[in-house]
Amino acid sequence: MGLRRQPRRLGRLSGPVGRRVRRHRHDLVAAAADHRVKNLRMFGSVARGEDRPDSDVDPLADLPPGLSLFGLGKVEAELEAILGSRVDLIPAGDLKPGARARAERDLVAL
């Protein structure tokens, strides 16, 4: 089940971590694509522009079938190395309905 709302624009990424996401977005998308991870979108405090310098990053993504937990951790580690921030990569298909509705309000596509 896909998300219903269209993601917002990058300008919403206005906090200190969000600005790093904007600056490195091509590298983030490329690193994800190397693992066949697609449709990288931000949600949470970074997407709302409410992040602080120590905030983690919550990207939502479409994962390829069969990506192991080890593979997911590898993608997170690569994204963390690019950003210098903790990353908690969330598979879009794993969101429960209540979490999905909250995420849809925040989404910013890379």
Active site (catalytic) residues = 56, 58
DSSP classification of residue 84: T
- Paired with 41 in beta bridges are 60, 109
Strand ranges (E), the chain: 38-43, 58-62, 90-91, 108-109
Q: Which of 60, 62, 37, 61 is nearest to 106 (CA)?
A: 60
Any residues with CB less than 8 A from the CB of 76 and at least 6 apart, and which? 87, 88, 89
